[in-house]
Chains A and B, each alone.
Chain A
């Protein structure tokens, strides 16, 4: 019983955190809410017996990414109160349907009785460590990650760095 309440509570927190991230009118609050959402996701991952994924989620998605966002926001100018009010109204006008969808989906899901229990733990890795999975089982994916990171690095160089005509 307590376990079920915990699952529902964490899922609701995750949904509310994501909703507030999308709907808030202040960038700083959005970054903080993103960190909170990731922290809740970390808790869910721990509960699903995926501690390594949880550690990555906590360190990268809840820690590093919001920190980068916050440093970037630190370089921007603050909106005046009038501007903030206008943006708040704009956000509500644009995204009013998000909470409605959330409530509708939650109500729908609560009515469905799943035959299969989808809340399952991650399978025991049978002695497979992260190293063996990364380097022996899925080296191609590791290469893909390297390529994606390189692409992101070039995105920063091409889009954010001022170029001089040479």
Chain B
């Protein structure tokens, strides 16, 4: 079954682009949306039955594995890609452009699905590149100066990351020359454990991780992220901020830290410090932004820091918190970017100094934005509260009191800058030129309502979800 997650998007891409007139291309958006719904439904209904092996695996022997972290990631991919497609319906003009967008989304989706399922460092790098190339084009999709500049910056930094990652892989291959597949997670972990880790293997994995941090826009390599997000068009920024940088960044890091690097207090200390730095740098950066998408980008950097704090705890509870926050953050950050898309669609700008009082004109956008804001800040009973609570409890249990205090304090800072954004955009006095503003197009509103529903539902139904769906996630983390 598992190869279908990679093969179906690619097959659909080829089918909708067959040179048989415009008929199939007209359906590409709808078919891609159906695929995302099917993926989400398959994961929710049949997750325990999806497994490696079976008839298809013998026919196409792709080395893929599914665990609970993969399930969470695949579900987040399906939801955010679906939301992005709905936003594209309302904001991308012309059938050809919409079809091109859907095709690029299919490539990115195939790449991200593969990232969630594979267990080999070389394949991990290769699919980073697949998602990366699709992302360059998505950022540059608008073809104006800002978009091309954002894409160019991403390409250059991605090139540097590629050199580091390939260099690291080459060193790891030298270390594991005796193995037939020296770069599988298990073999690299074995190489790192030989007499406390060979220096060359450590250097290799270190270089690979540096490349991964650049590609995922993680602190201290986050400089390109705000520019790329704000330069991309609305649906592309939903996709990039919501899931692409999660799949290529923090998910990759979680996978490498939990499956490749042997858990040691030293590694955990580095991850914790990086997480706390991201929380602080992102939140402080967000305080000084006057453009919505840039503000959300900095907020994203800060929230990814929380995921790292959970990961750095080095225990099942921390891993559970990190995984849950990865999912929640993908959803509520996508929602904030959908709200920015709604404002941009109707007003033509996301510059907060030119906005105000839109709440009465755009009630759906206003309410869903408030839900996303409160969830990001960790206000109960929304989903963000539970994941942050678990992370703080895990930090406290691990005697990382200082980091726990930072996590709580900067949640308040998050609440502050996001409520300020809410006030500037949706409340206060409305500029005269915005008097005729109306609610965003139905597809954008539907996208926002679905994401807000998930954020609210995940919060309210948390006790139920915890036992049935979330607790098994801890099983992927080696118990200490």
Q: What is the predominant secondary structure among interface residues of chain A facing chain B?
A: helix
Whether B130 contacts A147 by the Cβ 8 Å rule is yes
A118 at the interface (CB under 8 A from B): yes
B6 and A143 within 8 A (CB): yes
Given A151-B137, A159-B143, the answer on whether A144 and B114 have CB atoms closer than 8 Å is: yes
* 0/1 interface trace, chain A 133-166, chain B, CB 8 Å (1 if under): 0001111110111111011101101110001111
Q: Which of B55-73 contact A (CB under 8 A)?
A: 60-64
Which of B61, B62, B111, B118 is in CB contact (< 8 Å) with A147?
B111
A150 touches which of B10, B62, B96, B118 (Cβ 8 Å): B10
Asked if residues B94 and A157 are in contact (CB atoms below 8 Å), the reply is no
Is A109 positioned at the interface, with any CB of B under 8 Å from its CB? no
- Say whether B62 contacts A143, CB under 8 Å: yes
CB contact under 8 A between A144 and B126, given known A159-B140, A163-B94: yes
B123 pairs with A163, CB closer than 8 A: no
Residue in A closest to B95 when the chains form the complex, CB atoms: A166
Question: Would you call B10 and A143 a contact (CB within 8 A)?
Answer: yes
B62 touches A144 (CB 8 A): no
Nearest B residue to A128 by beta-carbon distance? B180
Residues of B within 8 A of A164 (CB): 96
A2 within 8 A of B: no
Instruction: Return the contact of A146 from the options B10, B177, B181 (Cβ within 8 A).
Output: B10
Cβ of A107 within 8 Å of any chain B Cβ, yes or no, is: no
B260 at the interface (CB under 8 A from A): no
Residue among A145, A146, A154, A166 making CB contact with B103, cutoff 8 Å: A154
8 Å CB contacts to B: which residues of A84-131? 116, 118, 120, 123
Chain B residues near A159 (CB-CB < 8 A): 137, 140, 143
**A136 near B126: Cβ-Cβ < 8 Å:** no
Q: Are the C-beta atoms of B10 and A154 separated by less than 8 Å?
A: no
In the complex, whether B13 has a CB less than 8 A from a CB of chain A is yes
Mark contacts of B374-407 with chain A using CB atoms, 8 A cut-off: 1 yes-contact digit, 0 otherwise: 0000000000000000000000000000000000
Across-interface contacts of B95 in A (CB, < 8 A): 166
CA distance A136 to B118 in the complex (A): 16
Please judge, given known A-B contacts A141-B123, A150-B107, whether A155 and B62 are in contact too, CB under 8 Å.
Answer: no
User: Is A140 within 8 A of B103, CB to CB?
Assistant: no
Give per-residue flags for B105-131: 1 if the beta carbon is below 8 A from chain A beta carbons, else 0: 001001100100010101100110110
Instruction: Say yes or no: is B153 at the interface (Cβ < 8 Å to chain A).
Output: no
What residues of A have a CB within 8 angstroms of the CB of B327 in the complex? none
Given A116-B200, A158-B141, A163-B97, CB of A147 within 8 Å of CB of B10: yes
Cβ-defined partner of A123 (8 Å) among B62, B94, B97, B177: B177
Residues of A contacting B104 with CB < 8 Å? 151, 154, 158
| A152→B133 contact, CB < 8 A | yes
Give every chain B residue within 8 A of A136 (Cβ-Cβ).
61
Q: A152-B133, A154-B104, A166-B95 are in contact. Are A140 and B118 (CB under 8 A)?
A: yes
| Docked-complex contact A157 and B177, CB < 8 angstroms | no
Given A152-B133, A158-B104, A163-B94, answer yes or no on A140-B64 (Cβ-Cβ < 8 Å): yes
Q: Would you call B94 and A151 a contact (CB within 8 A)?
A: no
Residues of A within 8 A of B177 (CB): 120, 123
Q: Which of A116, A139, A163, A166 contacts B62 (CB 8 A)?
A: A139
Find out whether the CB atom of B100 lies under 8 angstroms from the CB atom of A141: no
Q: Which of A148, A154, A163 is in CB contact (< 8 Å) with B96?
A: A163
Interface positions of B from 257 to 305, Cβ below 8 Å from A = none
Nearest CB on A from B61, distance (A): 6
Interface presence of B136 (CB below 8 A): yes
Chosen A-B contacts, 12 in total, with CB atoms closer than 8 Å, are: A116-B200, A139-B60, A139-B61, A140-B6, A140-B63, A143-B6, A143-B7, A144-B111, A144-B129, A157-B100, A159-B137, A164-B96
Chain B residues at the A interface, C-beta cutoff of 8 Å? 6-7, 10, 13-14, 60-64, 93-97, 100, 103-104, 107, 110-111, 114, 118, 120, 122-123, 126-127, 129-130, 133-134, 136-137, 140-141, 143, 174, 177, 180-181, 200
Besides A138-B122, A143-B114, A147-B110, 20 more A-B contacts (Cβ < 8 Å) are A120-B174, A140-B62, A140-B114, A143-B6, A143-B10, A143-B62, A144-B114, A145-B126, A147-B107, A148-B133, A150-B10, A150-B107, A154-B100, A154-B107, A154-B134, A154-B137, A158-B100, A158-B141, A159-B137, A164-B96
Q: What are the 5 A-B residue pairs with the smallest beta carbon separation, nearest first?
A: A151-B133, A144-B126, A147-B130, A155-B137, A140-B62
